[in-house]
């Protein structure tokens, strides 16, 4: 199977498996796992933040990041297609007790002017704004990258209003690869940043939250409350360290494969996609002119050995990653071409 459903599907590399087998471990609930401690120190260093917290999933990292910056009964401003609003089972409401105020933005990239209009002060009727959340890269907008200047403007504006900014940087290393800038520059002013080790970077499990020492200390308690206090988690952190140190350097290969696929998909009958909009490793393409629903196409691709999911009846998303080389992209393209030429 050529699996283009997500960059979460990668299997740990041989080097990761070796490191996992040999990892030095201890009980991380007591803060005694040396490998987890090293991973947290390295993450904090690389992001130039005071501290970091190893969490089992990106969803838990976002949940904790949002919780550390808000109070029950507030609103979190986010983009309309954001992961926190659409793919985390209403966790912002469930755990932090906050509503999401969704703002649609071109390419998923919010601008300070658009956010400022939506900020609500304390008043007799409305839920006051507690936090601004931005997603970089923006998954469901097609892996789009925030220009660093826009992030800085949002953070400066938010801070001037006494608000914090949480960045869902699940794929922040893809943004860094696309811009050729280090992650610490892209999130310098964000208060908390979540990034995934298990998405694009090849680790089997794990995400990180980075921020101030104070926020991470509180975050550690929320993590325990959520059931994320892991014990000898060094076996996971060992793979995470390799993901963090080694895997970012190769992400440009995934970006080149995504662009290559988008350029060729654009030539196929019934498919619409603008290759210029593909900035990282995600290609969202419209299949409505094939006359078939994305679920049908998905099932057909699968019978021919290619996995690609629909994100709604009209659009599909493919994601390139470490476990698909250019050769597999060529094979996947053949399958898509054969399937849609029959469909049209």
- Contacts with ligand TLP, residue ranges (CB under 6 A): 6, 8, 57-59, 62, 83, 87, 135, 139, 168, 170, 196, 198-199, 207
User: Nearest distance from residue 292's CB to ligand TLP, in Å?
Assistant: 23
If the CB atoms of residues 273 and 340 are measured against ligand TLP, the closer one turns out to be 273
Do 72 and 222 contact (CB within 8 A), yes or no? no
User: Nearest distance from residue 60's CB to ligand TLP, in Å?
Assistant: 7
Buried/exposed 81-115: b ≥16 CB within 10 Å, e otherwise: bbbbbbebeebbeebbebbbbbbebeebbbebebb
If the CB atoms of residues 91 and 340 are measured against ligand TLP, the closer one turns out to be 91
If the CB atoms of residues 81 and 220 are measured against ligand TLP, the closer one turns out to be 81
If the CB atoms of residues 88 and 268 are measured against ligand TLP, the closer one turns out to be 88
User: Nearest distance from residue 280's CB to ligand TLP, in Å?
Assistant: 12
Residue 98's φ and ψ, nearest 5 degrees, are -115, 150
If the CB atoms of residues 175 and 340 are measured against ligand TLP, the closer one turns out to be 175
Cα separation values, 103 from 24, 110, 119, 148, 214, Å: 45, 8, 11, 20, 30
Report the C-alpha gap between 342 and 265 in whole angstroms.
Answer: 15
Place of tokens 């970012």: 248
Structure tokens at 207: 């995400």
User: Nearest distance from residue 120's CB to ligand TLP, in Å?
Assistant: 25
Do 16 and 239 contact (CB within 8 A), yes or no? yes
User: Nearest distance from residue 281's CB to ligand TLP, in Å?
Assistant: 10
């Amino acid at each position: 199977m050529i699996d283009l459903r997500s960059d979460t599907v990668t299997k740990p590399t041989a080097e990761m498996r070796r490191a996992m087998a040999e990892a030095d471990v201890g009980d991380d609930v007591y803060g005694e796992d040396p490998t987890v401690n090293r991973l947290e120190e390295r993450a904090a260093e690389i992001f130039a933040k005071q501290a970091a917290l190893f969490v089992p999933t990106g969803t838990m990292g976002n949940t904790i990041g949002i919780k550390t910056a808000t109070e029950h009964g507030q609103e979190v401003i986010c983009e309309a297609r954001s992961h926190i609003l659409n793919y985390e089972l209403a966790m912002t409401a469930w755990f932090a007790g906050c509503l999401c105020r969704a703002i649609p933005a071109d390419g998923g990239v919010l601008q300070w002017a658009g956010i400022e209009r939506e900020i609500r002060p304390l008043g007799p009727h409305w839920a006051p704004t507690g936090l601004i959340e931005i997603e970089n890269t923006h998954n469901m907008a097609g892996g789009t990258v925030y220009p660093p200047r826009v992030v800085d403007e949002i953070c400066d504006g938010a801070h001037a209003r006494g608000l914090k900014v949480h960045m869902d940087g699940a794929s922040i290393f893809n943004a860094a690869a696309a811009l050729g800038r280090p992650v610490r520059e892209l999130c310098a002013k964000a208060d908390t940043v979540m990034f995934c080790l298990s998405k694009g970077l090849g680790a089997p499990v794990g995400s990180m939250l980075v921020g101030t020492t104070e926020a991470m200390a509180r975050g550690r308690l929320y993590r325990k409350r959520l059931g994320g206090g892991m014990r000898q988690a060094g076996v996971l952190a060992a793979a995470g360290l390799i993901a963090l140190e080694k895997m970012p350097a190769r992400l440009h290969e995934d970006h080149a494969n995504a662009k290559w696929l988008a350029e060729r998909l654009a030539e196929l009958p019934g498919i619409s996609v603008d290759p210029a909009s593909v900035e990282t490793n995600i290609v969202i393409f419209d299949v409505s002119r094939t006359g078939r629903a994305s679920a049908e196409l998905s099932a057909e691709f699968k019978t021919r050995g290619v996995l690609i999911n629909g994100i709604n009846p009209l659009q599909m998303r493919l994601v390139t990653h470490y476990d698909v080389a250019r050769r597999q992209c060529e094979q996947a393209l053949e399958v898509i071409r054969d399937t849609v030429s029959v469909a049209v």
